[in-house]
C-alpha cells in the first residue's frame, strides 16, 4: 500500500492534479491568519506563528484537537471560514484523485498504458480459448507474473478477472513491446495469427536485445530455419501443442530433449520391455543405469500407468517398463543386469 500511495502522489503531482486544491488551501491560510490577528485579543496563544499553522491544519482537516481555539465571536467566524475552505480543498482533491484512478483503470483495461514489471513472462498474441489454456498452465507457478500483449483488434482486456497485465497495440513495433516490458522479461511467447506474422514479431523482439528466453509457436516447423536466421537462441515449437509451449517457457530447452528422445538415431531413444519377474522400480533403475547406461522413465502395471514412481514400488511380473537408452534391451539382458546388481 505505501508503494501504491507514493506512485499515486507522484503521478498526481506530475499531472497537476493537486494544484487546484493546493491553491485553495494556501489562499485560505494566507487570508485567515491576518483575519485571526484582527479578531483575537493580543495575548491569544492561537495567533502565535508556532501555534497558528498547527491549529489551521487540524481545523481545516476537521480533526479539531481543541488544544487551541478562537475565543472571540469574530474568531469563530474566521474558524468557520477555515473549516469551509478545508472541506472544499479535501472534496476537490478526492474528486480529482478518484478521476485519476478511474482514468488509470480505464487505460489498464484498454491496454494503452506502460507497465513497470521485470522478470515476467510475456505472451504476444491472443486467441480466444487457446490463450486461456496457456495462461492456466503458466499459472501453475504462483510466483510467475504474466503479461498479455494483444493486437489492436482486441479492444479491452479479455481476461479482466485474472491476474494478468494487459497491453494492446501493434506487436511488430518496438513501442508496444517496450510497454509490455518485453526487454526486461524472463521469457517471451510469440503466439501469432500465422507464421509470417510470428517472424515479423520475432524480428522486433530480437531488436530489443532482450535476455529473455524466446519461444515461437509455429504451424509449419519447416520454417524454423527462418527464425534461426534472426537468432540462434529462438526456440520453435509446434503451434498445435500448447502444453509443450508452456513447458518450454518454464523449462528452457526441454523441447530439444523431447525431440532428441523421439528422433530415431539420436543419442537416446525410448524403448519398452516386459519384466520377467516381480522387481522394485529402483532395482530396475540401478541395473539399467550401471549395465546399459539407460534410464527408466515409467512402468505400466495391470492397474495403471506409473510415471517416475517411487523406487520402492514393486512392479509385478509382466509389467511393462519404459526406458531411454541408445539401443534396445532384451528381457534376458535386464534379468542378467538385475542379478549382477542384487545386494
CB 168 within 8 A of CB 177: no
Question: Does residue 125 lie within any of the structural domains?
Answer: yes
The pLDDT value given to residue 4 = 46
Q: Kindly indicate the confidence band of residue 6, based on its pLDDT and cuts at 50, 70 and 90.
A: very low
Q: Give the closest residue to 271 by CA, choosing from 205, 326, 202.
A: 326
Question: Does residue 110 lie within any of the structural domains?
Answer: no
Query: Same domain for 275 and 258?
Result: no
Cα dihedral across residues 111, 112, 113, 118: positive or negative: positive
Average of per-residue pLDDT across 96-105: 68
10 Å Cβ neighbour count for 12?
Answer: 18
**Exposed, middle or buried, 280 (CB in 10 Å: 0-12/13-18/19+)?**
middle
Mean pLDDT check: name the lowest of 85-94, 105-114, 320-329.
105-114
CA dihedral 74, 78, 83, 88 (to 10 degrees): 130
Query: Same domain for 200 and 321?
Result: no
7 pLDDT more than 80 = no
Beta bridge partners of 249: none
Q: Is the pTM of this model over 0.75?
A: no
- Concatenating the DSSP letter of every residue in 45-61 gives GGGSHHHHHHHHHHHHT
CATH number at residue 277: 3.30.70.1450
- What are the start-end ranges of the H helices in 192-253? 195-207, 224-230, 242-250
108 pLDDT more than 70 = no
Query: Same domain for 179 and 225?
Result: yes
Question: Does residue 115 lie within any of the structural domains?
Answer: no
Please report, rounded to a whole number, the percentage of residues in the chain having pLDDT higher than 70.
Answer: 88
Question: Does residue 276 lie within any of the structural domains?
Answer: yes
Q: For residue 113, give the DSSP letter.
A: S
CA dihedral 150, 155, 161, 166 (to 10 degrees): 40
CB 333 within 8 A of CB 275: no
105 pLDDT more than 70 = no
Question: Does residue 107 lie within any of the structural domains?
Answer: no
Determine the Cα–Cα distance for residues 308 and 310; give it in Å rounded to an integer.
7
Domain limit, last residue, from 218, 241, 262: 262
The pLDDT value given to residue 14 = 53
Query: Same domain for 280 and 196?
Result: no
Mean pLDDT check: name the lowest of 64-73, 127-136, 225-234.
64-73
Q: For 172-220, what is each residue's pLDDT tens digit?
A: 999 999 999 999 999 999 999 999 999 999 999 999 877 899 999 999 9
Question: Does residue 112 lie within any of the structural domains?
Answer: no
Query: Same domain for 150 and 274?
Result: no
CATH number at residue 47: 1.10.287.70
Domain limit, last residue, from 246, 262, 278: 262
Q: Which residues contact 178 (CB under 8 A, 6 or more apart)?
A: 114, 208
Q: For 217-276, what is each residue's pLDDT tens digit?
A: 999 999 999 999 999 999 999 999 999 999 999 998 898 888 888 777 666 789 999 999
128 pLDDT more than 80 = yes
Distances (CA, A) of 18 to 13, 26, 92: 6, 12, 9
Query: Same domain for 330 and 200?
Result: no
Query: Same domain for 249 and 300?
Result: no
The pLDDT value given to residue 5 = 41
CATH number at residue 125: 3.40.50.720
Q: Kindly indicate the confidence band of residue 89, based on its pLDDT and cuts at 50, 70 and 90.
A: confident
Average of per-residue pLDDT across 294-301: 95
Query: Same domain for 227 and 278?
Result: no
Mean pLDDT check: name the lowest of 35-49, 61-75, 297-311.
61-75
Average of per-residue pLDDT across 48-70: 73
49 pLDDT more than 80 = no
Query: Same domain for 96 and 128?
Result: no
Q: Give the closest residue to 138 by CA, choosing from 62, 29, 251, 216.
A: 251
The pLDDT value given to residue 211 = 84
Domain limit, last residue, from 35, 68, 101: 101
The pLDDT value given to residue 34 = 82
38 pLDDT more than 50 = yes
Domain limits for position 305: 269-340
- Concatenating the DSSP letter of every residue in 170-194 gives -TTSHHHHHHTTGGG-SEEEE--SS
Question: Does residue 197 lie within any of the structural domains?
Answer: yes
Query: Same domain for 255 and 273?
Result: no
Distances (CA, A) of 252 to 145, 177, 240: 17, 21, 19
Question: Does residue 191 lie within any of the structural domains?
Answer: yes
Query: Same domain for 309 and 235?
Result: no
Q: For 133-153, what is each residue's pLDDT tens digit?
A: 999 999 988 889 999 999 999
Average of per-residue pLDDT across 66-87: 76
Beta bridge partners of 238: 218
The pLDDT value given to residue 2 = 44
Query: Same domain for 216 and 244?
Result: yes
Q: How many domains does the chain have?
A: 3
10 Å Cβ neighbour count for 176?
Answer: 22
The pLDDT value given to residue 325 = 92
16 pLDDT more than 60 = no
Amino acid at each position: 500500500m505505501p508503494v501504491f500511495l507514493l506512485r499515486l502522489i507522484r503521478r498526481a503531482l506530475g499531472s497537476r492534479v493537486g494544484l487546484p486544491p493546493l491553491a485553495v488551501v494556501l489562499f485560505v491560510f494566507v487570508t485567515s491568519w491576518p483575519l485571526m490577528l484582527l479578531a483575537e485579543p493580543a495575548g491569544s496563544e492561537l495567533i502565535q506563528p508556532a501555534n497558528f499553522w498547527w491549529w489551521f491544519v487540524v481545523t481545516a482537516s476537521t480533526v479539531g484537537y481543541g488544544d487551541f481555539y478562537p475565543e472571540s465571536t469574530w474568531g469563530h467566524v474566521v474558524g468557520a471560514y477555515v473549516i469551509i475552505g478545508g472541506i472544499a480543498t479535501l472534496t476537490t482533491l478526492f474528486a480529482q484523485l478518484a478521476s485519476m484512478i478511474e482514468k488509470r483503470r480505464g487505460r489498464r483495461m484498454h491496454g494503452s498504458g506502460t507497465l513497470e514489471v521485470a522478470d515476467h513472462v510475456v505472451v504476444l498474441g491472443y486467441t480466444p480459448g487457446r490463450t486461456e489454456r496457456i495462461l492456466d498452465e503458466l499459472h501453475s507457478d504462483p510466483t510467475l507474473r504474466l503479461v498479455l500483449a494483444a493486437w489492436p483488434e482486441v479492444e479491452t482486456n479479455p481476461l479482466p478477472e485474472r491476474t494478468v497485465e494487459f497491453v494492446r497495440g501493434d506487436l511488430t513495433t518496438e513501442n508496444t513491446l517496450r510497454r509490455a516490458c518485453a526487454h526486461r522479461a524472463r521469457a517471451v511467447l510469440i503466439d501469432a495469427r500465422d507464421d509470417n506474422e510470428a517472424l515479423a514479431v520475432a524480428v522486433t523482439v530480437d531488436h530489443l536485445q532482450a535476455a529473455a528466453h524466446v519461444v515461437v509457436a509455429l504451424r509449419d516447423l519447416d520454417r524454423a530455419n527462418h527464425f534461426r536466421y534472426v537468432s540462434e537462441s529462438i526456440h520453435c515449437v509446434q503451434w498445435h501443442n500448447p502444453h509443450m509451449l508452456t513447458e518450454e517457457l518454464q523449462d528452457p530447452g526441454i523441447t530439444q530433449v523431447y525431440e532428441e528422445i523421439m528422433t530415431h538415431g539420436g543419442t537416446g531413444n525410448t524403448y519398452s520391455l516386459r519384466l520377467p519377474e516381480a522387481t522394485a522400480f529402483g532395482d530396475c533403475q540401478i541395473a539399467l543405469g550401471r549395465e546399459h547406461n539407460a534410464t527408466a522413465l515409467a512402468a505400466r502395471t495391470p492397474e495403471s500407468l506409473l510415471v517416475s514412481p517411487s523406487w520402492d514400488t514393486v512392479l509385478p511380473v509382466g509389467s511393462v517398463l519404459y526406458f531411454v537408452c541408445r539401443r534396445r534391451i532384451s528381457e534376458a539382458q535386464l534379468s542378467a543386469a538385475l542379478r549382477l546388481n542384487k545386494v
